[in-house]
Amino acid sequence: MDDNDHWLTRPASIRKLWIGFSAVLAMTVLAQLVIGIKGYFGVDSMFGFAAAFGFFSCVAMVLLAKAIGALLKRPEDYYHD
Amino acid sequence: MTELVIPPALVLLSGALLIAITRGLLRNSVLLLAPLITLWAVWQIGDGVEVVGSFLGYEIQPVEGSAVRRLFATVFTLMALIGGLFAFRQARTAELAAAFAYAAGAVGVAFAGDLITMFLYWELMAIFSTVLVWCGGTPQARAAGIRYAIIHLLGGVILKVGIEGIVVHTGSVEIQPMLATNFDTWMVLIGILINTAAPPLSAWLADAYPASSPTGSVFLSAFTTKSAVLALILLFPGEGVLIWVGLYMIFYGIIYALLENDARRILAYSVVNQVGFMVCAVGIGTEMALNGAAAHAFAHIFYKALLFMSAGVVIYRTGKSRCSDLGGLFRTMPITTVCGIIGALAISSFPFTSGFTTKTLISVAAEHEGLVFVYFALMAASAGVFLHAGIKFPWFVFFQKDSGMRPKDAPWNMAAAMIICAAVCIGIGVFPEPFWALLPYPVDYVAYTPSKVLFYLQLLLFSGLAFFLLLPLMKRTLTISLDTDWLWRVAGLRVANACLKGFERLGVLVAGLKASLYDNAPRLTAVLNSTGALGRTWQIGTTALWIVVLLTLYVALYFL
């Protein structure tokens, strides 16, 4: 059995996965038109709030980690030279 | 109560002893039976003080029952059982015995009715968890174990100072709710917080847990931090400072996990992150928040053990734990991959997993108290958990690139343990109501509304999108990240070395002085002998004159 050519690793299937994933993302936001999110503080019932909040908090956290990493990252053998 | 009460901790401790001295089938039956008997004993404990005794003249209550105590004792015992199943064919006997003694300490803390008993079991955990770290068997494990022991013994001493202060000043050793208002209570709080891996001493967790054996980290992830969460629930409910300590831990865990390359260290940082949610909940302190803290601890122990199990299997099979060395393992390790993903979804509080039902209890409790900032911080953190543990861990370990490795899937016992944990993660997620009956307070909360599910799906799936869009920024590097332990591992060492150098120089200086003293000996003796300036006999008059001069000077100086 040749495992090197797994269907998950083919560019074509990865493209399909991206398309499928994007469709799911769009659906979760569009579903809000039908279901409606009952927020607690007003702002969180806005259309697509959770999507935007999740996305941008993650971007912020990755960038923050990047900045902190620039300061705190050291080679693996830092403690036992 | 007239019937005999068996302290569950002692059952498990006896089990640990038996495991240490038996071999083969006999040992394996103890591994199975000791937790089962302990579980039975746990559920024999009613509410209130069940066993009293005296120790050094104090009335102690070694066994006191309540719903939350039984809940924690149950999950500790279950983890000994499932951890035993996961480890029994791969781990050394010493490791299994230490793990059971460690679990016994956690069960003991869960039922401790007074501070003295709690302290004794607390130290039992410190000792045997250190042994467990050492069972990693590598030089790194030895060194990390020593650092781990130092921090925990220090934490124990701080806790003891607080307990003795409370005993001296109030005369009571009882475990009862208090607030950090004076030195004694602060010491107790700090002592407990050290075990939750709170700042500034968080580094011990990510230092020691990943150094243990592939099976050892499963046990380590379960007991120390969660027994400390229980201690906080019993002693400091509603202590406001915990909200901020918890939030700090949550974001510390996310940021450090994002920077980390080692798979088990990612999981270790996310332990700090998840315990942060619980600490924050104890700080909010309402019945709903305390329910949330207890429920989240229970759910967390299972999904975190599951994650450490999947990482453990990978390390056991490949001998590698760096993300940069792993990848593509899903081809030959389907069970481990699926179980790892279920654990990752549960930790990310994905709908229909245990984390969703328990973590939303905490955030809704924050909302009920009108803590707007805390609520949104917890939401952002939920997104961040999906980012660092929910996707990053399975992606880099099982997918990512093809590492070329084709290891076998998990051995049957490890697979069975993982499947049990995965079933619990999904079971609590899909049917939370039976589980809620075990919580300390009545639950008046509907976990699943379409609105809530949709909100979380948006939040989490768009975090996922952020992960894959930002993937180039997350390229794994062969690095570690400095933490506060740099202060003693590097700065402290430098100061100590500088002091040693200083003493060395002082020694050289003194030796030089001594040598010059010997060299100048003839001249000195010339001054000091009977004809020299200082040694010869002076006349009384001259001496008196000198005394007058000196006294005048002294008096003048005194009045100045």
The token duo for B203 is: 């580094």
Cβ–Cβ contact A59 with B under 8 A: yes
In a domain, A80, yes or no: no
In a domain, A26, yes or no: yes
Query: Residue A30's domain spans which residues?
Result: 1-36
Specify whether A32 is located in the same domain as A43: no
Q: Whole-angstrom Cα distance, residue A25 to residue B510? A: 77
In a domain, B351, yes or no: yes
pLDDT of residue B3: 65
State the residue for tokens 């509304």: B449
Helix (H, G, I), strand (E, B) or coil at A76: coil
CA distance to partner chain A, nearest, from residue B440 (Å): 26
Least CB–CB distance from A25: residue in B258, B461, B489: B461
Q: Do the Cβ atoms of B305 and B283 come closer than 8 Å?
A: no
Specify whether A30 is located in the same domain as A5: yes
The token duo for B416 is: 């069975």
For the stretch B146-184, pLDDT in tens is 999 999 999 999 999 999 999 999 989 999 999 999 999
State the residue for tokens 């920077």: B259
Least CB–CB distance from A66: residue in B383, B464, B473: B473
Specify whether B285 is located in the same domain as B151: no
* Mean pLDDT score across all residues of chain B: 93
Least CB–CB distance from B458: residue in A29, A61, A75: A29
| B526 contacts: CB under 8 Å, gap ≥ 6 | B532
Which of B186, B216, B246 terminates a domain? The answer is B216
The token duo for B388 is: 């660092």
Specify whether A1 is located in the same domain as A29: yes
Q: How confident is the model at residue A4 (pLDDT cuts 50, 70, 90)?
A: low
In a domain, A21, yes or no: yes
For the stretch B492-529, pLDDT in tens is 999 999 999 999 999 999 999 999 988 888 888 888 88
Specify whether B26 is located in the same domain as B173: yes
Specify whether A2 is located in the same domain as A29: yes
Q: Whole-angstrom Cα distance, residue B90 to residue B417? A: 13
In a domain, B497, yes or no: no
Contacts of B269 in chain A (CB under 8 A): none
Cβ–Cβ contact A9 with B under 8 A: yes
Specify whether B19 is located in the same domain as B131: yes
Specify whether A56 is located in the same domain as A69: yes
The token duo for A44 is: 């969180």
State the residue for tokens 């429920």: B295
Question: Which ranges in B445-529 belong to alpha helices (H)?
Answer: 450-469, 486, 492-519, 521-528
For the stretch B247-274, pLDDT in tens is 999 999 999 999 999 999 999 999 999 9
Q: Whole-angstrom Cα distance, residue B547 to residue B555? A: 12
For the stretch B294-308, pLDDT in tens is 999 999 999 999 999
Burial per residue of B541-551, b for 16 or more beta-carbon CB atoms within 10 angstroms, e otherwise = eeeeeeeeeee
In a domain, B493, yes or no: no
Specify whether A57 is located in the same domain as A26: no
Burial class from Cβ neighbours inside 10 Å (0-12, 13-18, 19+) for residue B296 reads: buried
Amino acid at site B148: Y
Which among B207, B520, B109, B19 is positioned nearest to A80, based on CA atoms?
A: B207
Query: Residue B171's domain spans which residues?
Result: 1-216
Specify whether A2 is located in the same domain as A31: yes
Q: Whole-angstrom Cα distance, residue B208 to residue B303? A: 20
The token duo for B545 is: 């004159």
Q: Which strand (E) or helix (H) includes residue B382?
A: helix B372-385
Specify whether A44 is located in the same domain as A64: yes
| B204 contacts: CB under 8 Å, gap ≥ 6 | B147, B148, B151, B152, B197, B485
Q: Do the Cβ atoms of B219 and B83 come closer than 8 Å?
A: yes
Specify whether B51 is located in the same domain as B140: yes
Q: Do the Cβ atoms of B388 and B254 come closer than 8 Å?
A: yes
Specify whether B183 is located in the same domain as B320: no
Specify whether A6 is located in the same domain as A26: yes
Q: Whole-angstrom Cα distance, residue B178 to residue B244? A: 18
Specify whether B362 is located in the same domain as B413: yes
Q: Whole-angstrom Cα distance, residue B312 to residue B525? A: 78
Specify whether B189 is located in the same domain as B250: no
Helix (H, G, I), strand (E, B) or coil at A40: coil
CA distance to partner chain B, nearest, from residue A29 (Å): 7
Interface test with A, best of B247, B379, B461 (most A CBs within 10 A): B461
Specify whether B211 is located in the same domain as B244: no
Specify whether A24 is located in the same domain as A45: no
Amino acid at site B520: N
Q: How confident is the model at residue A45 (pLDDT cuts 50, 70, 90)?
A: confident
The token duo for A36 is: 């409606």
For the stretch B206-217, pLDDT in tens is 999 999 999 999
Specify whether B437 is located in the same domain as B539: no
ipTM for the whole complex? 0.92
| B269 contacts: CB under 8 Å, gap ≥ 6 | B205, B206, B252, B253, B254, B256, B257, B260, B388
- SS3 readout for B84-106: HHHHCCCCCHHHHHHHHHHHHHH
pLDDT of residue B526: 82
**B326 pLDDT more than 50:** yes
In a domain, B223, yes or no: no
User: Which of B76-85, B324-333, B421-430 shows the lowest per-residue confidence on average (mean pLDDT)?
Assistant: B324-333
Contacts of B147 in chain A (CB under 8 A): none
- DSSP structure class, residue B539: P
Question: What is the DSSP track for B167-201?
Answer: HHHH---B-----S-SHHHHHHHHHHHHHTT-TTS
In a domain, B52, yes or no: yes
Go through chain B and tell me how many residues it has.
Answer: 560
Contacts of B477 in chain A (CB under 8 A): 73
Cβ–Cβ contact A30 with B under 8 A: no
**B336 pLDDT more than 90:** yes
Specify whether B146 is located in the same domain as B23: yes
**In this complex, do A38 and B449 lie within 8 Å of one another by their Cβ atoms?**
yes
pLDDT of residue B2: 46
The H helix count followed by the E strand count for chain A is 2, 1
Q: Report the domain count for chain B.
A: 3
**In this complex, do B255 and A37 lie within 8 Å of one another by their Cβ atoms?**
no
Q: Whole-angstrom Cα distance, residue B51 to residue B63? A: 5
Least CB–CB distance from B481: residue in A51, A59, A72: A72
Specify whether B106 is located in the same domain as B58: yes
Specify whether A28 is located in the same domain as A54: no
In a domain, B105, yes or no: yes
Which among B502, B116, B387, B54 is positioned nearest to A63, based on CA atoms?
A: B387
| B226 contacts: CB under 8 Å, gap ≥ 6 | B72, B75, B76, B106, B275, B278, B297, B300, B301
Q: How confident is the model at residue A19 (pLDDT cuts 50, 70, 90)?
A: very high
Specify whether B138 is located in the same domain as B255: no
Which among B464, B445, B446 is positioned nearest to B341, based on CA atoms?
A: B464
For the stretch B16-34, pLDDT in tens is 999 999 999 999 999 999 9
Q: Report the domain count for chain A.
A: 2
**In this complex, do A52 and B462 lie within 8 Å of one another by their Cβ atoms?**
yes
**In this complex, do A54 and B383 lie within 8 Å of one another by their Cβ atoms?**
yes
Q: Whole-angstrom Cα distance, residue B401 to residue B395? A: 9
Q: How confident is the model at residue A3 (pLDDT cuts 50, 70, 90)?
A: low
Q: How confident is the model at residue A1 (pLDDT cuts 50, 70, 90)?
A: very low
pLDDT of residue B95: 95
Specify whether A2 is located in the same domain as A32: yes
In a domain, B485, yes or no: no
**B1 pLDDT more than 50:** no
Q: What would the mean pLDDT of B383-388 be, rounded to a whole number? A: 92
pLDDT of residue A6: 80
In a domain, A79, yes or no: no
Q: How confident is the model at residue B355 (pLDDT cuts 50, 70, 90)?
A: very high
